[in-house]
Amino acid sequence: MQKISLDALVHEHLKHAATASTGRSAETVYGGHEHVLRQTLLALTSGTILAEHENPGEATLFVVRGRLRLHSGDTSWEGRTGDLLIIPEARHSVEALEDTAFLLTVAKRP
């Protein structure tokens, strides 16, 4: 069994994002290319946008800290600390409305 402190990782990655030229920091906390399931912690500084991209499989976004907006087409959803957003199976982008960290969970399509 392995235990991971998301609180500690959020603190670490928000600090790193604050000094990164991209305004972001990320770490895969479970899974990867050899697994169907992958969980990645992403930290974004306020105003940082993850540009529109394809959905790689079934995916959810859990806001660990902060506030963000998920955009897909003409629709958007706001997420705050504790919210779980189901990512649509369409192109989408993410915008940090304040310093934000979220756990992205993806089950890749075969």
Give the domain CATH number at 12: 2.60.120.10
Given this model, what pLDDT does residue 108 score?
Answer: 80
Contact 68, 75 (CB under 8 A): no
Task: Examine residue 35 and state whether it is found in any structural domain, yes or no.
Answer: yes
pLDDT bin (cut points 50, 70, 90) of residue 110 is low
Residue bearing the bigger pLDDT, 57 or 75: 75
Task: Examine residue 52 and state whether it is found in any structural domain, yes or no.
Answer: yes
By residue range, what is the domain housing residue 79? 6-108
Task: Examine residue 1 and state whether it is found in any structural domain, yes or no.
Answer: no
- Is a pLDDT exceeding 70 seen at residue 80? yes
> Which range is least confidently modeled, 14-18, 56-60, 94-98, 102-106?
56-60
Task: Examine residue 61 and state whether it is found in any structural domain, yes or no.
Answer: yes
Task: Examine residue 38 and state whether it is found in any structural domain, yes or no.
Answer: yes
How many domains is the chain built from? 1
> Which range is least confidently modeled, 31-40, 65-74, 97-106?
31-40
Given this model, what pLDDT does residue 104 score?
Answer: 96
List pLDDT tens digits, range 25-67: 999 999 977 888 999 999 999 999 999 988 877 999 999 999 9
Task: Examine residue 68 and state whether it is found in any structural domain, yes or no.
Answer: yes
Distances (CA, A) of 82 to 22, 67, 108: 25, 10, 24
Calculate the average pLDDT of the chain.
94
Q: Give CA angle at 22 (15, 10), nearest 5°.
A: 30
